[in-house]
Structure 1
Amino acid sequence: MSLNKNLYRYYAHHILAHFRISPSPSSPAEVQHLFDNFKKIGNLEYFRVPRVGTAGRFSSHCFVLFNPVLERSLVTPFTIPDQEVLVPKSNSFTQRLQSLIAIPRYSYIENDQSYLANKSYIPFKYSMSKAGLDLDKKYDISNSKYIDQFCYVSPNPSATEQLLREAELSKFRREVRHNFQKFHKFSSIEITSGIEAVNSLGTGIISEESDPKTELKVEDMMNLSSDK
């Protein structure tokens, strides 16, 4: 099988999430903190928080690419699970990403020894704007623990409908008001998958119809985290 075909199979089920972070990371340490925690929840292959402006501030955009395939090789055929296994696994992971809503800022937890020792948790305290009051009792937000520092949205147990509807969840994110000094909130999340998701990162490395004679650089294929 050609290298292009192997790459197409390899990237066919990758999941790309584009997070809008509020507030933006204010230091390299906060960006590293985000990277470290995203790496804990899945097989992370790409992470980027772009810099903006002449001062080089970090933007509010964060891009993460996850790979549900655990084994990879540029030479031998890829070991890819059956669709019966891969599709439910990908769907479950996508739902997990969609339920993320916040994470403590590094500057807030870096000296909290009890939290860092996993002996305490940090609640995500928030209020709803007037426009979001209709959703106030429909969803709960989990506490942040050191072993999994993200806070997740879930349906309130007393709610009539135990579903996370995308439109409602998007509105809920927008209307949540929180303490900027303590938490980053994920104001919006856009999730795409497959080859289109990989190429949207600007790599343009692969298509199913690619000419097998096209020169592909290893760093373009596997070191996607480089900031070019």
Structure 2
Amino acid sequence: MSLEARRALYFKFCVGARFRLTPVPTNSKEVKFLYDSFQKLGTLEYFDVQEAKHTDTNLYGRHVTVLLNASDQRSQLDPLGGVDSDIKTTTVTLRQRQHELSEYLKSICGICRYSYIENDELYFQGRVQVPFKHTLTAGARQYAEQYRMSSSTVNSPFATLETTLRRSDILAGVRHNFQKFHKMEPEFVENGMRAVLRITGEKYSTTVDVDANEYGDVNITDLGKLPAMRNVRGKQVFSGFIDK
């Protein structure tokens, strides 16, 4: 198995996303709260908050980028991460988890600012929830009563937007209290190597043929294992996996 194919297999069930934050994080505590909140969703393979331009007054920019793995295994990008052979998640389950994780990331619309809840004992005890209070601009008032936003809790810090409409149209018209929430607008949500390519900006043309009955959670995540796979090289950018 080539190194490219092994990498493609490892990231097969990952989901990557980039969000635009309004307002930007102003200190490391807010960034750490974002990091901890994404960790609650799954195995966090990559996390990055954009650095501000040198002319800006803040340290951080508007974009946060994450890569999450649907597997229950610890990240193998962590030098201290090991593989638990007792975790034997099937391919079918991994695909389902990947789909659910992707849909959840697409629904995220905000998160409490850590500076607002850091001294709120009731919040961290799970006894209160913080609603994402907001108004709509004149151009977005047509969407009123056509969506629902969840509240932020200690176990589910992200507010989510449920609607049959296009979420980006609604979020563009949302105005909120900057002291209480970061509005989060997804700029992309991608699966597998497509997510890696969006994050790294690479061009890639290797796909792999895999017998779905022969690989599972351990084979995928354990970088010491090299399942028998056939590389397929094409002229276009990475286009997905093909099961025999």
Residues 188 and 93 from structure 1, CA distance in 2 versus in 1: closer, same or farther, beyond 3 angstroms? closer
Question: 2:111, 2:89 → 1: CA distance?
Answer: 32
Counterpart of 1:95 in structure 2: which amino acid?
Answer: E
Question: 2:168, 2:151 → 1: CA distance?
Answer: 20
Give the match's secondary structure for 2:72: coil
Residues 80 and 175 from structure 1, CA distance in 2 versus in 1: closer, same or farther, beyond 3 angstroms? farther
The 8 Å contact of residues 13 and 68 in structure 1, kept in 2 or not, is answered as: yes
Give 2:26's aligned residue: 26
Give 1:180's aligned residue: 178
How far apart are 1:206 and its partner, in Å? 7.0
Question: 2:123, 2:112 → 1: CA distance?
Answer: 11
Question: 2:49, 2:76 → 1: CA distance?
Answer: 27
Question: 2:32, 2:203 → 1: CA distance?
Answer: 27
Question: 1:35, 1:205 → 2: CA distance?
Answer: 28
Q: Identity rate of aligned residues, in percent? A: 31
Question: 2:203, 2:46 → 1: CA distance?
Answer: 14
Q: Aligned ranges for residues 3-18 of structure 1 at < 5 Å?
A: 3-18=3-18
- 1:117-148 per-residue CA deviation (whole Å, 9 max, x = no partner) reads 11111111111111111111011111111111
Give the match's secondary structure for 2:36: helix
Q: Does 1:105 align with 2:147?
A: no
Residues 68 and 207 from structure 1, CA distance in 2 versus in 1: closer, same or farther, beyond 3 angstroms? farther
Give 1:216's aligned residue: none
Give the match's secondary structure for 1:153: strand
Counterpart of 2:23 in structure 1: which amino acid?
Answer: P
The 8 Å contact of residues 102 and 191 in structure 2, kept in 1 or not, is answered as: no
Give the match's secondary structure for 1:26: coil
Question: 2:26, 2:96 → 1: CA distance?
Answer: 37
How far apart are 1:70 and its partner, in Å? 3.1
Q: Does 1:197 align with 2:195?
A: yes
Question: 2:34, 2:203 → 1: CA distance?
Answer: 26
Listed as ranges, the gaps of 5+ residues in structure 1 are: 156-163, 210-220, 222-228
Q: Aligned ranges for residues 118-197 of structure 1 at < 5 Å?
A: 118-155=126-163, 164-165=164-165, 168-197=166-195
- 1:37-76 per-residue CA deviation (whole Å, 9 max, x = no partner) reads 01111111100002122256200000000111334769x9
| TM-score, normalised by the number of residues in structure 2 | 0.72
- 1:91-137 per-residue CA deviation (whole Å, 9 max, x = no partner) reads 11111111111111000000111111111111111111111111110
Question: 1:86, 1:21 → 2: CA distance?
Answer: 29
| TM-score, normalised by the number of residues in structure 1 | 0.77
Listed as ranges, the gaps of 5+ residues in structure 2 are: 78-82, 208-222, 224-244
Q: Mean Cα displacement is larger for which, 110-119 or 82-91?
A: 82-91
The 8 Å contact of residues 10 and 69 in structure 1, kept in 2 or not, is answered as: no
Residues 59 and 90 from structure 1, CA distance in 2 versus in 1: closer, same or farther, beyond 3 angstroms? same
Counterpart of 1:67 in structure 2: which amino acid?
Answer: N
Counterpart of 2:94 in structure 1: which amino acid?
Answer: L
